[in-house]
Chain A
Amino acid sequence: MSNDEIFAAAYREHYWAVSRYVARRLQGRADEVEEVVAEVFTVAWRRRADLPATPLPWLYGVARNCLANAVRGYGRRLRLVDRLGNDEAAHGRHVAAGPESEAPGAWVHEALDRLAPADREVLRLAAWEELGAEEIAVALGCGRRAAAMRLHRARRRLRAEIDRLRTAAAQPMSPVDATPRKDPRHA
């Protein structure tokens, strides 16, 4: 098979997985997912000679960079769309609000948001994309051992944040701390 044919096969097989990857990281911005995914595959096309035999983790790595570029390069336009659109209402629509919520998803998203971006990404790759350490290493562009270590540490930090939130929610709230979502991130 030529590089073009291999690329086309990877595109067909992984288009939706890459779309889910992007959608998970652009929550509430469904209209932007398709354009970012298009950019991912445009970049992948240019680099199709590098496409590995198991392309999905590699495509996730491309997508990670495209998302970062999208945030930087299109920030100006996104702000405009935010102002004119209804994104305010869309943001976090599916996430239950506040640590007092009983929805388990809310706990975890809250805890995840308190971690550093690098920790968040390695955890998402493990939990949502269900990658193993070797695949995470490809997606992050690091060695396998480093990926495993990052995941281990990030899991520990996530556990700590979940415990912290549960403890805070278990305590009766005084009127003063009735809005705990504004808590600053831990130092």
Chain B
Amino acid sequence: MPDELELLRRANPVPDDGPYYGDGPLDHRAERRLDRLLHQEPAPRPVRRPRLRRAARPRLLWGLAATGVVLATALTALLGGPSPQPAVAAPRPLVVRAGSTPEPLALLADRAAAAAADDPSGLRKGTHVQSWSMGMSDQAPPVTLPQETIVRWKPDGSHTELVVATDPRHPGRPVLSDEGEQPRPVADGHVISRGTYPPSWSDAPPEAPPPHDVARLRGYLREAASLHGGMTPGELLDAVDLLLDHWTLGARENAALARLLADTPGLNPAGRVTDRLGRTGQAYVHQDRSGARRMLIMDPSTGAVLGLELTATRAEPEYGLDAGDVMQYSAWMR
């Protein structure tokens, strides 16, 4: 029998030649961090984000304005003065339009398949996303930062990333940004980061092109989310989030994704909503047992995913979190 050290070697959970963290060129996030260090930019505060939140996103956010006096006081202190009032209010959960008829996901999947049959094209690496993210810090109330991120890939394998502080619901008003050590108001459209990254040809999901076959797409999403077993509906939605932070899907991929979602139990049609960019969508809700609700918003005519909202369903006073607080909202655009 091998000795104890050899047994331990064989039980290495992340072997050097395993599928993750293998030696090789840096990915673009590691490159960006190195660049920041070398150029003396203030390092972003390490903050825990929701699982699978990997793309450049805001990390901290003020709690919902509806939380009242305590928060208002804190904001006044933070922002240090009167006008112009920054657009800091965290988004409320989307409200399903009263009386609207929920459409089954299978119906949207059929429409997406029809749209793909007409024109299967449109897949593009890169993303355009407006996000609102709530995070926690140890000393302050939760904060929400609105950001718009545009990632564009070039034929030579390089890509650019632009991150701007903005809240499209309040154009022209200052917004919070968490660059440096403390959240602070910045002008609408303030450039948080702008970078060009050298060629990278990773062939692992989510960097690899997403397949347009349902079974392969399921495997792709599991791999992208580093899942080794099954995939719960919550994990699937998180993986979709990850996918759409990397790719702008074409009609074929939309159709495969809509079918995959339609085949997933636990995603319940809720009715029609207007998303934070003013688009009409059909909402599908998944409620998990850990106190989170995910609402997927899909384009009713093309079956494309428009947005994903993560809402706390249980108050966590210890963290300043109220039931109904939106912790993360992403709205993807073409």
Count of residues in A whose CB is under 8 Å from the partner chain: 61
Q: Is A142 an interface residue (CB 8 A)?
A: no
In the complex, which range does the number of interface residues on chain B fall in? 35 or more
Residues of B within 8 A of A77 (CB): 47-48, 136, 138, 319
Bound Cα distance A104, B4 (Å): 11
- Interface digits, B1-22 against A, CB 8 Å rule (1 contact, 0 not)? 0011111111111101000111
Bound Cα distance A55, B312 (Å): 44
Which of these, A8, A24, A78, contacts B12 with CB under 8 Å? A24
Tell me the interface secondary structure of chain A in the complex.
Answer: helix
Q: Is A180 an interface residue (CB 8 A)?
A: no
Would A89 and B232 count as touching, CB distance under 8 A?
Answer: yes
Would B33 and A93 count as touching, CB distance under 8 A?
Answer: no
Q: Which candidate, B49-57, B249-257, B263-271, is the interface stretch facing chain A?
A: B49-57
Given known A38-B33, A94-B228, contact A84–B7 (CB-CB < 8 A): no
Would A11 and B12 count as touching, CB distance under 8 A?
Answer: no
Given known A76-B136, A89-B232, contact A128–B7 (CB-CB < 8 A): no
Would A32 and B48 count as touching, CB distance under 8 A?
Answer: yes
- Interface digits, B293-321 against A, CB 8 Å rule (1 contact, 0 not)? 00000000000000000101000101101
Bound Cα distance A163, B107 (Å): 59
Q: Is B290 an interface residue (CB 8 A)?
A: yes
Would A16 and B138 count as touching, CB distance under 8 A?
Answer: no
Q: Is A68 an interface residue (CB 8 A)?
A: no
Which of these, B5, B8, B43, B290, contacts A86 with CB under 8 Å? B290
Would A27 and B13 count as touching, CB distance under 8 A?
Answer: yes
Residues of B within 8 A of A70 (CB): 46
Which of these, A41, A81, A88, A105, contacts B11 with CB under 8 Å? A105
Would B53 and A31 count as touching, CB distance under 8 A?
Answer: yes
Residues facing A in B116-140 (CB within 8 A) are 136, 138
Would B7 and A94 count as touching, CB distance under 8 A?
Answer: no
Given known A39-B46, A41-B33, A76-B319, contact A123–B136 (CB-CB < 8 A): no
Residues facing B in A89-123 (CB within 8 A) are 89-90, 93-95, 104-109, 112, 123
Would B51 and A85 count as touching, CB distance under 8 A?
Answer: yes
Residues of A within 8 A of B105 (CB): none
Would B7 and A20 count as touching, CB distance under 8 A?
Answer: no
Would A80 and B37 count as touching, CB distance under 8 A?
Answer: no
Q: Is B291 an interface residue (CB 8 A)?
A: yes
Q: Is B215 an interface residue (CB 8 A)?
A: no
Nearest A residue to B6 by beta-carbon distance?
A127
> Chain B residues in contact with chain A, CB under 8 A?
3-14, 16, 20-24, 26, 29-30, 33-34, 37-38, 43, 46-54, 136, 138, 226-229, 232, 234-235, 238, 288, 290-292, 310, 312, 316, 318-319, 321, 327
Known: A8-B38, A31-B54, A86-B232. 13 other contacts (CB 8 A): A8-B34, A20-B16, A33-B21, A70-B46, A81-B48, A84-B50, A85-B50, A93-B228, A105-B10, A108-B8, A124-B8, A128-B12, A158-B8
| Closest 3 pairs between A and B when the two form their complex, measured CB to CB | A105-B11, A127-B8, A108-B11
